[in-house]
């Protein structure tokens, strides 16, 4: 049995999430999320993706600004 077969077998099993082995829990959670999105219309999926990218990119901008602003190895509180 390959690692992929093992993970897929446990991820697709009809057991509760807490009963799945930890190495298969992430794949099972992803599978459940995809099942929840499967019946949505494409226009709704497109809006959700655009909203997600908007939220993530604004947080990335803030993180990058903080990285460029602080000298390497010094905490951000030390900057004046």
Residues in contact with 40: Cβ distance below 8 Å, sequence separation at least 6, in sequence order: 48
Measure the CA–CA gap between 11 and 21, rounded to whole angstroms. 9
> 13 or 18, which is more confident?
13
pLDDT at 6: 75
Measure the CA–CA gap between 45 and 40, rounded to whole angstroms. 7
Tokens 């908007």: give the residue. 54
Average pLDDT of every residue of the chain: 78
Tokens for 73? Answer: 């190895």
> 80 or 11, which is more confident?
11
Per-residue pLDDT tens for 27-56?
888 888 888 999 999 999 999 999 988 888
pLDDT at 46: 96
Dmax over CA atoms of the chain, in Å, equals: 58
């Amino acid at each position: 049995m390959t690692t992929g077969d093992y993970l897929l077998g446990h991820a697709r099993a009809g057991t509760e999430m807490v009963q799945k082995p930890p190495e298969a829990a992430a794949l099972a959670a992803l599978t459940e999320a995809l099942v929840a999105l499967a019946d949505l219309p494409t226009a709704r999926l497109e809006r959700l993706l655009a909203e997600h990218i908007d939220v993530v990119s604004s947080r990335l901008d803030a993180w990058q600004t903080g990285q460029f602003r602080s000298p390497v190895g010094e905490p951000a509180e030390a900057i004046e």
